[in-house]
Amino acid sequence: MRYPNGQKNKSMASKKTRSMGFSNRGMTLEEDINATNVFYRSADKAVIHKKPTPVQVVNVHYPKRSAAVITEGYFKQPSTTDYNGIYRDRHVDFEAKETKNKTRFPLANIHEHQIKHMQSIANHGGICFLIIRFSVYNETYYMPAETFFPYWEAQFNGGKKSIPYETIQNTGYRIPFHYQARVHYLAIIDQLYF
């Protein structure tokens, strides 16, 4: 923003930069997957939805009669994975993670209860995987849960607490960006399962 004398308003510029950098951090992958799922549903290819996180509302403030503002709430239980649904008569369940790290994917981004849930889905014949985006490279990978589990277990037996970027390149499946299906993960599922 510039004042009439042509000078920049430095405080506004720094606020804008700060808010742009942190407000939507980690949301681009989720937005791309949500748009992809809308396309899949509208084209009648699959029915996949983002799971809502169960929240218990404790306190509500009513500033106006027609408006309510939740002022206090708590997670009822730990969430499982981000997305689930059905594709070609198979249950699909996956977690989506985005990292700004250039060299590795930290396993701390995943929680133990999510791994237990994914193991249960895989044991019952569901299609379970992770979608991992390296935002620095703008690269997105599909990693089957069965490929991911050994890396998760290794960290508890003296192994690394992250998966190297090169390993994900070699063991995962790169998902190219498409116009309508931005994260076209069904193409990878078709390749692996059908």
Contact 108, 142 (CB under 8 A): no
32 is in an annotated binding site: no
User: Exposed (0-12), middle (13-18) or buried (19+): which is 50, by Cβ within 10 Å?
Assistant: middle
Q: Which of 88, 77, 16 is nearest to 45 (CA)?
A: 88
The answer to whether the annotation marks 99 as part of a ligand binding site is: no
Number of residues in the chain: 194
Are 37 and 83 within 8 A, CB to CB? yes
Angle at 186 between CA 35 and CA 192, to 5 degrees: 160
Does 36 belong to an annotated binding site? no
191 labeled part of a ligand binding site: no
Which residue ranges make up the annotated binding site for Mg(2+)?
80, 82, 95, 114
Annotated binding residues, written as ranges, equal 80, 82, 95, 114
